[in-house]
Amino acid sequence: MQVSLIILAAGQGTRMNSDTPKVLHKLAAAPLLHHAMAAGRALDPARTVVVVGHGGDQVARAAQDCDETAEVVVQDEQNGTAHAVAQAAPLLADAPGQALVLYGDTPFIRPETLQAMLDARDRHAVVVLGFHAADPGRYGRLLTRGDDLLAIREFKDASPEERSLTLCNSGVICAEARTLFRLVSQVGNANAAGEYYLTDIVELARAQGLSAGVVICDESQTLGINTRAELAAAEAAFQARARAEALENGVTLTAPETVFFALDTHIGRDAVIGPNVIFGPGVTIESGAEIKGFCHLEGCHVSRGADVGPFARLRPGAELAEDVHVGNFVEIKNAILDQGVKVGHLTYLGDADVGEHTNIGAGTVTCNYDGVMKHRTTIGKRVFIGSDTMLVAPVTIGDGALTGSGSVITEDVPAEAVALARARQTNRPGLATKLFEKLRAIKAAKAKD
């Protein structure tokens, strides 16, 4: 069954009190829009069309960052949800198969719920996603008779009896693409808000002898984000679910409530995650790895048997092979560490390749930036880098070589060589005492002034 996605992402979100388009505010380190796109992507859609408006260029870039095949159309004036869907008609009106309308500010709808809507299309021409609300408030109400959906009534237009109903409209709708756009083209705006409501297609369909039905999901899936408070509540909900899923999948979280996941975090079974660990986008932790407390990771890959931290930072491009050890106050960026490498503490490795079983001493820095360009450091196998070594890139350290502590290495070091690059030490007997006496006198003189 071919599926086309239409994701509505044109709203300004004035209640967010922000210059940033609402759908670009981040939840679990990813724009809200990416959550909606991820749910739809599980259906393997043939096409994805994102309808943009406020901040359209930014939203379009974000959509294509998530899915480079996503198509973008512009809704210049926000005249309601039917008007927004109609903007996709030039692209999809003749598309075969189903069309599914999602919302860029509704991040929690599950792929299995969307699949249930597609399955319900066997019985109904139009399928709407509904939920029973604990506090229906100003949601649109679903008017049903048995399994049939009769109409969707916006709160502004609902009677007191209709407002007493708890079955509410999520806004998500599924129909055959040609049918959807034909019905949308017939929607009028004779309502309290003067807008073109997508929900009107239910009554239009029934008037033409087409059936409409409802798939009901848990209210938590339909949470829309309109305010900063709702965004914070959504973050808490996402993290609670992500922690529960990690534990269920065999990951050890020693203090679950202190671990924060991103939308695309992947952690293998039997991995151990310590307290106060934050995962940014693009992190994969393989089975059996350990991330100790107070680490921050993004855009990195940690292999089986590796351990990281505490107090370590892995930045984008960090690749740790099996059994690598990265200790406290170590930062790795755009660097590949081969099997068995040890980086114990107080070190920065950026734009580097480190060979297997190499030991990096404390205080080592790859000096990778000359103020204009980045340069790469290559360290071979079984190398010993002495503490406080500055490696001024571009530079290569050969297999089995050694650098002396405190060295500033500016030239390549051959394999199995020892590199020493520091000034010769000189000792001046008695000079320390004289120097301290002079400094104390200066300090005392200043105190009298």
Query: By the 8 A CB rule, do 360 and 354 touch?
Result: yes
Question: DSSP class of residue 23?
Answer: G
Looking at residue 1, its pLDDT comes to 77
Looking at residue 32, its pLDDT comes to 98
Q: At residue 190, does pLDDT exceed 90?
A: no
Q: At residue 449, does pLDDT exceed 80?
A: no
Q: Per-residue pLDDT averaged across 20-45, rounded?
A: 97
Burial group, residue 342, by CB count within 10 angstroms (0-12, 13-18, 19+): middle
Tens of pLDDT along 89-130?
A: 999 989 999 999 999 999 999 999 999 999 999 999 999 999
Q: How confident is the model at residue 162 (pLDDT cuts 50, 70, 90)?
A: very high
% of the chain surpassing 90 pLDDT: 92
Give the integer Cα–Cα distance in Å for 333 and 365.
12
Mean pLDDT over the full length of the chain: 96
Q: Which CATH architecture has domain 3-222?
A: Alpha-Beta Complex (3.90)
Looking at residue 119, its pLDDT comes to 96
Q: At residue 313, does pLDDT exceed 80?
A: yes
Greatest Cα-to-Cα distance within the chain, rounded to the nearest angstrom: 105
Looking at residue 189, its pLDDT comes to 92
Give the integer Cα–Cα distance in Å for 343 and 361.
7
Tens of pLDDT along 43-59?
A: 999 999 999 998 899 99
Looking at residue 380, its pLDDT comes to 98
Burial 160-170 (b: 16+ CB within 10 A, else e): eebeebebbbb
Q: Per-residue pLDDT averaged across 372-385, rounded?
A: 97
Q: Per-residue pLDDT averaged across 245-266, rounded?
A: 98
Nearest CA among 226, 5, 238 for reference residue 114: 5
Q: How confident is the model at residue 187 (pLDDT cuts 50, 70, 90)?
A: very high
CATH topology of domain 228-419: UDP N-Acetylglucosamine Acyltransferase; domain 1 (2.160.10)
Q: How confident is the model at residue 275 (pLDDT cuts 50, 70, 90)?
A: very high
Give the integer Cα–Cα distance in Å for 418 and 269.
42
Q: Per-residue pLDDT averaged across 366-378, rounded?
A: 96
Q: At residue 146, does pLDDT exceed 90?
A: no
Active site residues: 345
Q: How confident is the model at residue 424 (pLDDT cuts 50, 70, 90)?
A: confident
Nearest CA among 18, 12, 14 for reference residue 84: 12
Q: For the CA atoms of 252, 253, 254, 259, what is the dihedral angle to 10 degrees?
A: 160
Q: How confident is the model at residue 260 (pLDDT cuts 50, 70, 90)?
A: very high
Query: By the 8 A CB rule, do 147 and 213 touch?
Result: yes
- Does an H or E element contain 360, and which? strand 359-360
Looking at residue 157, its pLDDT comes to 87
Q: At residue 11, does pLDDT exceed 90?
A: no
Query: By the 8 A CB rule, do 116 and 215 touch?
Result: yes
Looking at residue 44, its pLDDT comes to 96
Q: How confident is the model at residue 156 (pLDDT cuts 50, 70, 90)?
A: confident
Q: At residue 314, does pLDDT exceed 80?
A: yes
Looking at residue 192, its pLDDT comes to 78
% of the chain surpassing 70 pLDDT: 100
3-class secondary-structure state, position 66: helix
User: Domain coordinates of the chain in residue numbers?
Assistant: 3-222, 228-419
DSSP string, 257-276: GG-B--TT-EE-TT-EE-SS
Tens of pLDDT along 333-352?
A: 999 999 999 999 999 999 99
Q: At residue 191, does pLDDT exceed 90?
A: no
Looking at residue 423, its pLDDT comes to 86
Q: At residue 272, does pLDDT exceed 90?
A: yes
When mean pLDDT is compared across 76-85, 252-261, 268-277, the lowest value belongs to 76-85
